Structure 1
């Protein structure tokens, strides 16, 4: 651990932020897995419902710079194309 007071504070703050970001990153992966499992089961209605929830979550995280906006767009595009191919 650092010796200077400000660097100690910064280390604690960055660890707190890392834990916060980790929680939301994990939540994002969980939502993506739920959509993928609905697609795998060929349940179109459930997949669309889960996709709508996941889409808003991804947009919020991209807006807060937890993930890059292009990555968010790529996630949404790939999952939506999978849903469309089911029909």
Structure 2
């Protein structure tokens, strides 16, 4: 545990940001997996799930969770499957 007040605060803020980032990343991954499953099962709502997945990927890239090229690659793979 740090002794300096600013270091203690930094630990707290890092924990909260880490939790937020983990939640965002988990949400992105699950929506991408749902879209892929919808494409494999040829569901009627596959296009909606693809749109939701692309939105989550773009959101993660804009927040800096993933690199913009990674986001482009994931979107491209989704569209290729469609």
Looking at structure 2, the residues matched to 46 and 80 of structure 1 have their Cα atoms a distance apart, in angstroms, of: 15
User: Which residue number corresponds to residue 29 of structure 1?
Assistant: 29
Superposed structure 1 runs of 4+ greater than 3 Å apart: none
Q: Who is 1:67 aligned against? A: 66
Scaled by the length of structure 2, what TM-score is found?
0.92
Counterparts of 1:60 and 1:32 in 2: how far apart (Å)? 13
Q: How far, CA to CA, are the matches of 2:70 and 2:11 in structure 1?
A: 28
Q: CA deviation at 1:42?
A: 2.1
Give the total of aligned pairs. 82
Structure 2: how far apart are the matches of 1:79 and 1:56? 12
Which has the higher mean CA deviation after the structures are superposed, 4-13 or 53-62? 53-62
Unaligned runs of 5+ in 1: none
Matched residue, 1:6: 6
Report the aligned-residue RMSD.
Answer: 1.0
The residue that corresponds to 2:52 in the other structure is 53
Which region of structure 1 is more displaced relative to structure 2, 68-77 or 49-58? Answer: 49-58
